[in-house]
Each structure stands twice: as C-alpha cells, then as structure tokens.
Amino acid sequence: MATLETHVDGLTLPNPFVIGSGPPGTNAKVIGKAFDEGWGAVISKTISLDASKVVNVAPRYARMRAQQSREVIGWENIELISDRPFETWLDEFKQIKDKYPDRVLIASIMEEYNKDAWVEIVERTQDTGVDAFELNFSCPHGLPERRMGAAMGQDPELLEEVSGWVCAASKIPVWAKMTPNITHIEDPGRAALRAGCHGLSAINTILSVMGVDLDTLRPEPTVEGYTVPGGYSCKAVRPIALRMVMELATMMFGGGCGAPIPEGDEPAIKGEFPDRSLSAIGGVETGEDAAQFILMGAHTVQVCTGVMIHGYKLAGELSRGLLAFMEKHGFETLEDFRGHALKYFTTHAELVRRQAEVKAAEKAARAGMVTKDAAWEGDSFVEQSDRLVSND
Ligand SMILES: Cc1cc2nc3c(=O)[nH]c(=O)nc-3n(C[C@H](O)[C@H](O)[C@H](O)COP(=O)(O)O)c2cc1C
C-alpha cells in the first residue's frame, strides 16, 4: 500500500503538501482550517518584528485567464508581508501548536539587514513551539525598497551572512526561500546551504507587469492610477519553477544536466549537498503537478495561489492524484521516485549526437545493412554480406 508520509529535516508530515506562505496561512483561523483539511504542513504568511511599517494597498491582485475556458492561469500580486502585529502572531503560533501539537507549523520570517533584529525574531518565534523557519529572501515588490526580501536573495554574500546569523540562533530547521528573479538560482542556494540552512524553497513569485488597460492607458493592478511591478504566480509559472527546482536539485543532489546522460544510475554531476532538503513551489494545482516536482528532486511541494482559487479542500485532490500516479508505477514511497527525472537533462550537443546515431542506424536498417552481429541470418547470409560491400 503506497504512502505519502514525508520525512524531512527530522519532521514527519502526513503528506508532502505544504501551504505556501501567503494569504492561505495568514492567521490562526485559516491555518487551523488547513490542518483540518489534511495539509501536510503550513507555512505562515511572512512576519516581521514591526508590522506598523507594512501598509498594503487595494486592489493588489490582477489575474490572467485563458481566452476560451476563462480558467485562471496567471496571478499577479503586489501584496506585502503580514501587517499583523508580531505579538499577535506569537500568541497565535502558541494557540495553533497547543491545538495541533503533531502537525508541522513553519514560520516564514523576514527582517532588515540587522543582526540583532534577525536574532530577536528567531529567538522569540521559536519559543512559541513552531517546528521550522522559512527565511523570505524573495518577496519581489515593496520590501526590496527596504533592502529586504528579493534584495537580500539577489545578493549571495548578504544572504550567506544573514543565513549564518539565523542558523546560529535557531534550534529548529531553517529553509531559505529563493527568488526566481536572478540569472543563476544556484548561487544564492549554495550560499544559504553553506551558511548552514537545512533546506531551500523555490520559487517565490516572478517579477511581472500583468498588462495595460487599453481604455485608461494605465498598467494593472491600478491603485489611484499608478502601479508597481508585482509577483507572478499560478499555473503559468510552473515550467519556470520546474526549471529552477531542477537547477537547485542538480546542484544539491546531482544529476545529468550539462553532461552526457550516464549509462548507469550514477549521476553525471555529483551533488554538493546531498543531505539537505528541497521544497518546490510554483503553479501546483494537482497531484500530477506535484509528482513532477518530486521527480525533479523535491521532498515537499508548496501551494499558495492554488488554494486561493480552489480552497483548502484541494489537499484531498492533491493526495488522491499523487497516490494514483504512485500506484500506476508501483511506487510505495516518495523516495522511490524522488529526483528520478534529473538524470535525463543533458547538453544540446548530446541531443544532436544521440539523434544522429539513431538516424544512422535507421538508415542502415532501411538499406538492409547489418549493423549489429545479432542481425546475421543463416538463410540470407550471402545477401547480407553483399549489402555491406561498398566497392562493387
Ligand atoms: C497573494 C500572494 C501573497 C504572497 N505572500 C507571500 C509572503 O508573504 N511570503 C512569501 O514567502 N511568499 C509569498 N507569496 C509567494 C508564494 O508563497 C509562492 O512562492 C508563489 O506564489 C508561487 O507559488 P503558487 O503558484 O503556488 O502561488 C505570495 C503569493 C501570493 C499569490
């Protein structure tokens, strides 16, 4: 009987489905609802020590729909981190852990470039009994103006220093959440793991402009006629998230990218951090989407926008879809297929070489030429020999 039970960084989750930081984990009420509906873990909305500096605007979302079906495929937000007071969050973390002692609650935290502030937020938050931290090094709008979020995540040196402060103060696992708004996501990933983070999460939202209203000539979402570029999420980002998770997983666990496909099971590239964890995020709405991220090396799979579209009951659908995939292939546990697809990435030159090899073999077969010793036949032996002669 296949199981979805997930073991990561000493934590046990009933399944790999995690509420990603955002509106679906924004207070004790909704976090409780997520646990009641069976989510494997919840990551809170990102919190900071001084919420009075966080002022949200409305509207702050804009959606992209498919032309025919009207299905939502892309979602832009210009939402900031939580505007709720730090003390309120500490109370609520305690309440949630009292009510759900066996469920995994992860606090997403963010601070300015100040060691005392990071140490304070880590120490006071972990005293509530939360199970792990996720460091938000990746919010692409608003916070970078204060050198927070993506501004930190785009600077591996700064990120390594801050991760080092957090890891020294933290007694629980620490995941660093990566920004996709960077050329080589492995660089900040490597910096966070070097500093001692237990795992990486990827991706946060992709910096975007949803569109321009052709009547008003103003970009969307419009607040008093103006806007800022925001973070893009939902289905449309999944291929980009898969690519970035593949790049991180190859760096961490090894894989075939950038080198010929190995003949055996040995990856062509050796992983630099084989014992650390990876949490994938970006456009997941089905168990099949999640299976693809696990095949790409992820231990857990986060969902944020999908919950805003389908509600908390999505957890059941995700579990059913992933179990059906596992049963089809005879996989008993997630480890039976985690990272399986990584070895099939190679260089373009290798694709060309493989294709030429297959075409040459097909051409020879069409001409009836023997290319392998096993193809010799006793009855047509002489004809087969004749076809291999080039100078008659
Ligand atoms: C409205 C909204 C608010 C978000 N707020 C946060 C946040 O506070 N902290 C954070 O780390 N990520 C935040 N995110 C990013 C998500 O956690 C996630 O990384 C991203 O949306 C991609 O995943 P998805 O396609 O499943 O939404 C937010 C996303 C949305 C849509």
User: Does the pLDDT value for residue 81 go beyond 90?
Assistant: yes
81 shares a domain with 58: yes
Do the beta carbons of residue 106 and residue 41 sit within 8 Å?
yes
363 shares a domain with 308: no
Structure tokens at 79: 């939402």
Report d(CA 381, CA 374) in Å as an integer. Answer: 12
Q: Is any ligand 1 atom within 6 A of the Cβ of residue 295?
A: no
CA of 181 to the centre of ligand 1 (A): 14
365 shares a domain with 286: no
Q: What is the mean pLDDT of residues 210-238?
A: 96
Q: What is the mean pLDDT of residues 177-204?
A: 98
Instruction: Answer yes or no: is 392 within a domain.
Output: no
236 shares a domain with 148: yes
164 shares a domain with 204: yes
Query: What is the domain count for the chain?
Result: 2
User: Does the pLDDT value for residue 259 go beyond 70?
Assistant: no
Q: Is any ligand 1 atom within 6 A of the Cβ of residue 177?
A: yes
Instruction: Answer yes or no: is 20 within a domain.
Output: yes
User: Does the pLDDT value for residue 256 go beyond 90?
Assistant: no
Phi/psi at 125 (5° precision)? -75, -40
Band of pLDDT at residue 372, cut at 50, 70 and 90 = confident
* CATH number, domain with residue 334: 3.20.20.70
Which atom in ligand 1 lies closest to the alpha carbon of residue 241?
A: 22
- pTM as predicted: 0.94
Band of pLDDT at residue 267, cut at 50, 70 and 90 = low
Q: What is the mean pLDDT of residues 79-99?
A: 97
177 shares a domain with 123: yes
Q: Is any ligand 1 atom within 6 A of the Cβ of residue 208?
A: no
Q: What is the mean pLDDT of residues 178-205?
A: 98
Q: What is the mean pLDDT of residues 223-251?
A: 97
**What percentage of the chain exceeds 70 in pLDDT?**
97
244 shares a domain with 379: no
- Verify cis geometry, omega within 30 degrees of 0, for the bond prior to 221: yes
246 shares a domain with 374: no
User: What is the model's pLDDT at position 260?
Assistant: 53
Ranges of H-type helices in the chain: 28-36, 86-99, 115-126, 150-153, 156-169, 186-194, 238-253, 287-295, 305-310, 314-329, 348-366, 381-387
**What percentage of the chain exceeds 90 in pLDDT?**
84
Contacts of 303 (CB under 8 A, 6+ apart): 17, 18, 19, 20, 24, 281, 284, 285, 314, 318
302 shares a domain with 282: yes
What pLDDT digit, counting tens, does each position of 271-306 carry? 999 999 999 999 999 999 999 999 999 999 999 999
Domain range for 373 is 349-387
User: Is 139 marked active-site?
Assistant: yes
User: What is the model's pLDDT at position 379?
Assistant: 92
360 shares a domain with 268: no
For the chain, what is the mean pLDDT?
A: 94
User: Does the pLDDT value for residue 262 go beyond 60?
Assistant: no
User: What is the model's pLDDT at position 194?
Assistant: 98
Band of pLDDT at residue 258, cut at 50, 70 and 90 = low
The dihedral of CA 226, 230, 234, 238: what is its sign? positive
Band of pLDDT at residue 108, cut at 50, 70 and 90 = very high
Report d(CA 43, CA 88) in Å as an integer. Answer: 16
Catalytic residue among 139, 167, 257, 304: 139
- Verify cis geometry, omega within 30 degrees of 0, for the bond prior to 203: yes
Q: Is any ligand 1 atom within 6 A of the Cβ of residue 279?
A: no
Instruction: Answer yes or no: is 1 within a domain.
Output: no
339 shares a domain with 255: yes
